[in-house]
Structure 1
Amino acid sequence: MIADAHVDLLMELAYRERRLGETDVFAATWLPLLTEGGVGLQVCPIYVDVVVQPEGALREALSLAASFHRALAENAGRVVQVSTAADLDAVEAGERIGLMLSLEGVECFGVETWPADVFHALGVRMAGLTWNRRNAFADGAAEEGGGLSRLGRELVDRLVALGVILDLAHASRGTFREILERAAGAPVLCSHGGCRSVFDWPRNLDDGQLRALADAGGLFGLMIHPIAIGPERRSTEGVVDHLEHAVSVMGLERVCLGGDFTRRLWEAIPPPPEPKDGLAPPGITPGLGIEGLTGPEQYPALVEALRQRGWNDEEVAAVTGGNLLGFLRGALA
């Protein structure tokens, strides 16, 4: 069973529902892809373009949350919302695909911390404070040197109190370090990123960050995208290179998948779903994909590539699903 810590599928659902007036969108688009790829758990982030003003960002974020809940209601026999550890029972039994709501950046909070309670009530169980830029709470990966603001420290404390998993993807080095220090003992992960020792890119984690995350009991989710894997490694072999490096640094039990498949979104949503200054390496756009691994339906190709590299069944099962499921068992109420 595949468990994936990050795919922005809500963006397509919201666009098709509100802009095109389509119905039963999840059943017609992403559900068949998840089923074909053997995905048993999918984390669904709420991402709002950070150039949107706070009031508009809040409306857009709530629109994505509404699409998430519509997908659950319209496909109740096939999917289940994961907000507690008990919700994983149906997932691990293979009865339903689990969908979990997360936040990729909290720009929609404006300059307040109380929205954390609202989004938690809607089912958010994982949250990253930033996208790449600086906001009122923290510095993102495109910034140099900065970390948490006073407001950011308050928000970290509130998220920990709510039992929300802290996501360090897109965090600056300072934000990454300060969250680990302030939230010591709370569940943390990097939902989607790459290994900087394999491909040197600002969004990828260096070995010191990988070790710090492992020491905190966290997980590292590999982002299956050329932006993280590298323009010269756009193949399943390149993906395996990153996975093997992460395992060598962190240990087998600390690595999972965070697909971040964007090719379909790039083709489905005009204008492109990510701002142009998204820290993309030269010649790489969010619309590109890994050859033979551009969406969740192609996860069997990754499983086969791992086996070809000499991974046994237990090792494959751990990284592709078991580690994230086990982590959530312990992190969720």
Structure 2
Amino acid sequence: MIADAHVDLLMELAYRERRLGETDVFARTWLPLLERGGVGLQVCPIYVDVVVQPEGSLREALSMVAAFQRAVRENGGRVLQVTSAADLDSVQTGERIGLVLALEGVECFGVETWPADVFHALGVRMAGLTWNRRNAFADGAAEDGGSLSRLGRELVDRLVSLGVVLDLAHSSRGMFTEILERAAGAPVLCSHGGCRSVYDTPRNLDDDQLRALADAGGIFGLMLHPIAIGPEQRTIDGVVDHLEHAVSVMGPERVCLGGDFTRRLWEAMPPPPEPKDGLMPPGLTPGLGIEGLVGSEDYPALVEGLDRRGWGAEEVAAVTSDNLLRFLRSSL
């Protein structure tokens, strides 16, 4: 089984349903891909492009919630929404695929913290405050400095009180450190990123951050995209290099997968404006994938790559599913 901490499938579902008027979208598109790849649990983030602000971003976010709910409702025999540890029982037995609703950036909150309560009631169980850029709450990974704003500190406290898992992907270094300190004892993870010692980019975590995340009881999800793996290392062996480094720093029980596959989104939807955050290396496009590992359906190739590198069955199971499932069972 595969447990994946981050894939933006809701963007495609909402686009096809709202803009194209299609029906049964999840059953025709992403569900077969998840099943083919052996995915047993998938975290589904709500991501709204930061240029749509603020009421428009709320509508976009809610359209993704609606798409998520429709996917669960129309495919109840094959998937379920995970909002509590008890929901993981049927996931771990392989009866149904578990889907976890998350937030990748809180631009849709505007300049208020109360929407956290609403999104929690809708089933959101994981939230990151930023994408790469600065918003009213914090600085993202593309910013040179800064951390949480006063409003951001209030939101962190509110999310902790609701029991929402805090996602440190896309955090600036200051934000990363301040959240770990402010939310000490609360569940934290980095859902998708890479190892800065293997490929140096602001989107990746350095060894001190990896150790701090492990010390806080958190886990690290490896992002399976060249922006994290490296444009010259975008092979399955390059992916395994990052996994092995993360395991060596954090321990084998603190590393999982955070796919962030984008090839399909760039094929199925109109391309968004070229990112202006400065994090995309020259010649690299957001829709470019890892060779042989461009979507959820390709996860068996990653397992084969781990086998070739001499990983044992327990090590493979830990990183590909067990660690994330255990973390969520103790966090939800």
Which TM bucket (shorter chain)?
A: over 0.9
Q: Secondary structure at the match of 2:14?
A: helix
Query: 1:275, CA displacement in angstroms?
Result: 3.5
Contact 2:142–2:277 at 8 Å: present in 1 too? no
- Paired with 1:275 and 1:58, the residues of 2 have a C-alpha distance of 21
Aligned residue in 1 for 2:221 = 221
Query: 1:285, CA displacement in angstroms?
Result: 1.1
Whichever residue aligns with residue 142 of structure 2, its letter is A
Contact 1:132–1:278 at 8 Å: present in 2 too? no
Q: Secondary structure at the match of 1:253?
A: coil
Aligned residue in 2 for 1:321 = 321
Alignment deviations for residues 23-53 of structure 1 (CA, whole Å, 9 cap, x no partner)? 0000000000000000000000000001111
Aligned residue in 1 for 2:151 = 151
Alignment deviations for residues 271-305 of structure 1 (CA, whole Å, 9 cap, x no partner)? 33873536211111111000000001000000010
Residue 228 of structure 2 is aligned to residue 250 of structure 1: no
Dislocated runs of 4+, deviation >2 Å: 271-278
- Evaluate the alpha carbon distance shift between residue 278 and residue 21 of structure 1 in structure 2; reply closer, same or farther with a 3 A threshold: farther
Residue 44 of structure 2 is aligned to residue 44 of structure 1: yes
- Paired with 2:284 and 2:327, the residues of 1 have a C-alpha distance of 32
Aligned residue in 1 for 2:133 = 133
Whichever residue aligns with residue 216 of structure 1, its letter is A
Whichever residue aligns with residue 180 of structure 2, its letter is L
Aligned residue in 2 for 1:5 = 5
Whichever residue aligns with residue 124 of structure 1, its letter is V
Contact 2:133–2:277 at 8 Å: present in 1 too? no
- Paired with 1:47 and 1:73, the residues of 2 have a C-alpha distance of 21
- Paired with 1:305 and 1:252, the residues of 2 have a C-alpha distance of 17
Whichever residue aligns with residue 154 of structure 2, its letter is E
- Paired with 1:307 and 1:237, the residues of 2 have a C-alpha distance of 11
Whichever residue aligns with residue 51 of structure 2, its letter is V
Whichever residue aligns with residue 72 of structure 1, its letter is V
- Paired with 1:146 and 1:277, the residues of 2 have a C-alpha distance of 16
Aligned residue in 2 for 1:241 = 241
**Cα RMSD (Å) of the superposition?**
0.9
Aligned residue in 2 for 1:86 = 86
Aligned residue in 2 for 1:176 = 176
- Evaluate the alpha carbon distance shift between residue 276 and residue 267 of structure 1 in structure 2; reply closer, same or farther with a 3 A threshold: farther
Aligned residue in 1 for 2:72 = 72
- Paired with 1:145 and 1:50, the residues of 2 have a C-alpha distance of 19
Aligned residue in 2 for 1:199 = 199
Whichever residue aligns with residue 271 of structure 1, its letter is P
Alignment deviations for residues 114-166 of structure 1 (CA, whole Å, 9 cap, x no partner)? 00000000100000000001111000001112000010000000000000000
Contact 2:261–2:295 at 8 Å: present in 1 too? yes
Whichever residue aligns with residue 195 of structure 1, its letter is C
Q: Under a length normalisation based on structure 1, what TM-score does the superposition of the two structures give? A: 0.99
The farther-off stretch of 28-37 and 267-276 is: 267-276
- Paired with 2:316 and 2:50, the residues of 1 have a C-alpha distance of 36
- Evaluate the alpha carbon distance shift between residue 125 and residue 274 of structure 1 in structure 2; reply closer, same or farther with a 3 A threshold: farther
- Evaluate the alpha carbon distance shift between residue 273 and residue 313 of structure 1 in structure 2; reply closer, same or farther with a 3 A threshold: farther
Query: 1:85, CA displacement in angstroms?
Result: 0.3
Contact 1:47–1:104 at 8 Å: present in 2 too? yes
Contact 1:201–1:281 at 8 Å: present in 2 too? no
Aligned residue in 2 for 1:231 = 231
Structure 2 residue runs without a partner (length 5+) = none
Aligned residue in 1 for 2:261 = 261
Contact 1:49–1:274 at 8 Å: present in 2 too? no
**Residue correspondences, number:** 332
Contact 2:145–2:172 at 8 Å: present in 1 too? yes
Residue 308 of structure 2 is aligned to residue 304 of structure 1: no
- Paired with 1:198 and 1:273, the residues of 2 have a C-alpha distance of 29
